[in-house]
Every structure is written in structure tokens, then in C-alpha cells.
Structure 1
Amino acid sequence: MVLSVKKPDIPTNDEARLYALNILRILDTEPEQRFDCITRLASNMFDVPIALVSLVDEERQWFKSKVGLAACETSRDISFCGHSINEENHLIVEDATKDIRFFDNPLVTGDLSIRFYTGKVLRDHQGYALGTLCLIDTKPRQFSDENLQSLNDLGSIVERELLALRLAKLDGLTQLLNRIGFVSDTEKLFSSANDVRLKAYYFDLDNFKSLNDSGGHDLGDKALKVFSSGLQASFHHSDLVGRLGGDEFMVVSKAENSSDLNVSDPIAQLDQYLNTNPLYDEGNTSGLSYSWGVTDFIVTPETDFEHILKCADRAMYDQKMRKSDCS
């Protein structure tokens, strides 16, 4: 009889969940004491050989912190944590050999020999399940309500640390990367993406000052939020999207994301989004108009963020001038 591993179900909100995870820019980063102290404490507190902070990416689970495990990641298809993120709060598996979801899983039948697993779901401030704080043992065991409460408490600490990472990088109004976060993450991308072709888009809202003057700052803020949501909806979840300040936005995208035959042109997507999500000012529909420019480039050790920004900004300015000449 041929056995097949039960793959985790994909959450219905997985695209938004992955965006929430990717905006943290925490994947593939170095270990940090703020997380390592929690996994060490969890391993000792519950007397388990393995404790992990596991983040569930599109095709893998990646371990931000780990005790008792050499691997840095596993496939999402065989991950216990991939199942956990579909739960409200936690998943407990007392004996994986007796669980129909896991008895033939290679993490159970192979060298790791998982028997016991429990994972506390880690959520961001919007409720998206990013991953788990999980415990693993090579022998079956039970997990009491008291133990579960203690694990939940430790998980809450991990969630606060993840939130602190987010708040340091994000614009409070739009929830996009702020300038500091955007520059930092773009420079990290450049350092790890040698010979990769990227595109940099620069956006500027047209007549934003007039919009603020006529409708007040509330309408101006709404315009920024609507435009930000449009960018998030139009670009790939792995792209960097930031608000540089005022009404200026920037996106750095892998060229393959915007040239994929299965992905619509992001500018066309953005236009469609803005047309179907108009602003309303005292009952009258107010459309959002914007100018944009793009530059594409291949990353080299000499690639400089400020130079790329200037090129994209110049392309945007040229388009704005052409629009002005035609009006």
C-alpha cells in the first residue's frame, strides 16, 4: 500500500498572511538573543529536546530560533507548523505515530523521529498566523492545561518581539515600510541578490496638496491609505513596498514577479484597484491620480540605493511633465 503524507491545508487568507510575514523582513536573518532566550527557556521549562520559533513561508517553514535541531528549515508540505497555523490557538499531537495526519510523515518515520509536538500559533497585530512557538519530543507525552497556559505566555512574548520589529520599520498611517525600514530592507536585498534583475518603481500622488486643502487632512489620510492598499494588492507579496514620506512611495520588485505570465501588470492592477475603490468627499466620488516611473537594473556589489532612487524619481518626474504638457 502506498502512503501519502497529509499536506497542511492552505489558509484562505494565505496571500495576505504571507504579505504580513514578508513585511517583517525576518526570514533568513541571523539568530537574535531576544528569540533564542525564549526557545532555551521553553526547552528547559518543558523538558523537551527541541524548541523552535518557526515561521511558515510560501513553500517552507524557517526557524528564526532553534534549540536541539541542526536544520534551518523544512518543506512546508511536511511541516507540523503548517497544520498549526490553521488552528485558532494551538495544535497538540501527543503521539504522531497514531495521528492520521502524521504517522507516515518523514519527520516521524525518519531520523528526527518526532512523536510529541505542540505549537502555539504566533499572530501579528492584525491576527495573521505567522508561525508557531513549538515543542518537539522523540517520545509520546501528554500536555496539561497548565503547561499549555505557560506555552501561551511564552508565545505572547514572541509575538511582542515580532510586533516591536514591525513597529520600528512601519509607517503608522499606511502600515507600509517607512523610509528607514524601506532603505534598510532594500540594502539587505541588494547585498543578497547579486546579478539579480530588479525593478524600482517611484510613485507620487497628483495634486495631493489640493486634495488636502479641499477635503482636509482626513481625506488626505484616506487617499494615502487607499493608495497604499492598492500598492499592496497590485504587487507580489515578496516585493518591497514603502512610503518614503508625504505622498511619495517606492516599490522594489524582482523583475520575474512583474514579468510572470501568470501575474498581471502591477500598474494595470493598481489602476483597476483605484477605480473600484474611489475616495468619497461629501458624497461625490473623487478619483486618485498619480504619476509613476520605473527603472530596471541588475544588482552588482556597486549598486547604490540613492542612485536607484534618483533614477526612478527622474522617470516619475518625466512622466509627470508629459502629463502636464498634454493637459
Structure 2
Amino acid sequence: MAPLRTVLIGYGHAGSVFHAPLIAADPDLDLSAVVTGNSARRAEVRRRYPGTALLSDAAAIRGPGERTSGCDLAVVATPNDSHAPLVEAALTAGLDVVVDKPFALIAASARRLIRLAEERGRLLTVFHNRRWDADFRAVRDLVAGGRLGEVRRFVSRFERWRPDPEQAWRYTTPRSRGGGIIYDLGAHLIDQALQLFGPVDDVYTEASVVRDAGVPGIDAEDDAFLALRHRSGVYSHLSMSAVAPGEAPRFSVTGSLGGHESWGLDPQEDQLRGGVIADPDGYPAFYRQVVAAVRGEGPVPVDPADAVAVLEIIERAFALTR
């Protein structure tokens, strides 16, 4: 079968490091077009993907019934507050869609997009790629196999030491437009916890702006902690920070028969940044499942309803920190 012609909307960190390399490396996908108006990014696309068309903005997919350059699949990898309108435009144009996390800014918008995809008969999935981290897969297998017994507590950390204020949009953009570490790293940690232990009844949150404390208009948190009480009885403690100087386990799981710890971050992001795709069962598996789903050979890799559940918890977390 012919490769799926794919348009990548956005070529910032997510688009250039994750999506473009994974799409280009999959023989069943063709990176047909990239949407970016940034001149430096356009030059990089020309250098790395010389056969790929360049579009200056996403207006080409906004007309009802129009298809961008004959593409089959749209991948939305833009700043968070543009996810929902771009997904809507792509679905309306008749394209199947992959959208980077967070799915949308609020759960209600995400639910509306799911309904639109169903009405249009299009596939929709969310790039919660950290489900394919090797260390998370190891934890998932231990829990599912019962080797730790009845799990009581799950601790998950995604922490860095970057004490100088960053100019990255995720920390300079107000929380109301998708800024902050909870939308960024928190969405991954929440999704992983839900995959392991199911729905959540109670949420406790701590969130603060550390590096730009006191600067007017800066409310995008760079340090946060969430405690989740799952309906199953498990407690998940999720820490995310740009200002954590000490090393701690990435995962820690405590069960009735024993425990498990793992240290360090999954290397796939750094490998992709260096042009290497080393784990075929990791992030490439996401796009293999996308292709299979488009061809009617299996489900989408991430049910968008799972991403709605993540947004519901984020909304509850924000309500506790206003």
C-alpha cells in the first residue's frame, strides 16, 4: 500500500525532534509537507527533508472539504493553545489527525473534537509518547504481571535543574493559554499513572512559579506536585520541576510483595535529537499503530478519551491552586 501522505503542522521542539524524524523513518508514512513560517526552521526542513513541501501557515487546511496537498494525515505539533482549532480544521478538511499533548486546554474542547471526528468518520489520536518509554514499559509489565503484589504507592518524577529563567514559550505563556509545567511534563505523568492504576477520585496539588517569582503576568508554574488517589486504592505521587537540583528515582513502586526503582530518563528523546532511532518498540511503535489504525488494521495507539481524562485531572489540579 502507498505510504500515508502526512502534513506536519509546526516545526518547533516537538515537530523537529519527535514527529518529523519518526514520520520520515517509517516506510508507511511520507513527510509530504511541513507548516512553519519561521525562516530558520524552513531552512532546516529543506536541509533535512529535501523532498518535503513547505507551507507558511495552516490556512491551507481551513477550508471545508479541502485536503492539504492531497495529504491523508495531519500531525499537530504547535503551541498548546492552537491544538484544538488546528485539529478542528484538519478534521473538517477530511484528514485523520495526530495531536501532540495536551490534547486541548480544557476537557470540554477535547470532547467536542472527539464528537467531530466521529461525525466526520476520521481517526483522532494524541501523542502521549511517554507510554513507550522503556522504563515505563518495565514498570507496566511488573504491575500487570503481579510481581510486586498489590501496589500501594507509585512515585513518578520528571525533574530537571534549570535554575535560570527560560524563554521557552511553555514558561512565558500564561497558564490560561497552555503554559506551565503541568500541561507540559504533568500531562505525561498523569497519563502514565492512569494507564497503570485507572480512574482517580481525589487530587491534591502544589504548584509554584520559582524562577520568575514576583514578575507580573508570569503564572506558568515551573515546579509542581500532584497526589492522586485512584479508585483502585493506589496513591500516585507525581513530581515535575525545572528547579530540582538533586537526583531521585524516576519511578518508585511499592507493593505488598516488594518494590521497584528506576533511575534516569528514557534516552529516546536525546537519541532522536542526535538523529538516532534506537528502540523499535519505543516511539516508532506509536506511528506504526497510527498507520495500522488508518488502514483499518487495529485501534489508534492512544484513545483520545484517555487524553480527556488527563485534562480533567489537570483542570481539578488548577482549581486547587487558583
TM-score by shorter chain over 0.5: no
Normalization by structure 1: what TM-score?
0.26
Normalization by structure 2: what TM-score?
0.27
Which is higher, the Rg of structure 1 or of structure 2?
1
